[in-house]
Amino acid sequence: MAVVKQPNTCSLKLRYQKGVNGNGDPVYVNRTYAKVKNSAGDQELHEVAMAINSLQTTPVQGIYRVDDSLLINQ
């Protein structure tokens, strides 16, 4: 039996540093944009993330593609 991956959903997550805590460690906040097309390429998602980031005053610390898939045993 082979396991097949069936794409389910995709989202784009941008991480920003919003300051530091009492110990001086960075504090991050994530902004997630859901319902991204599964067929969207990584370069396209990066370009969209940079366009969104251009509207922010805080520089982006990380850009994440989050794929959710169903594994089916056939």
Residue 39 has a pLDDT of 92
In tens, the pLDDT along 38-70 reads 999 999 999 999 999 999 999 999 999 999 999
Residues ≥6 apart with Cβ < 8 Å to 73: 1, 2, 3
Q: Taking a C-beta distance cutoff of 8 angstroms, is the pair 15, 29 a contact? A: yes
Nearest residue to 3 via CA among 56, 53, 74, 51: 74
Distance of CA 22 to the CA centre of its chain: 28
Domain of 59 in residue numbering reads as 3-73
User: Would the pLDDT of 1 be above 80?
Assistant: no
User: Would the pLDDT of 10 be above 90?
Assistant: yes
The domain tally of the chain equals 1
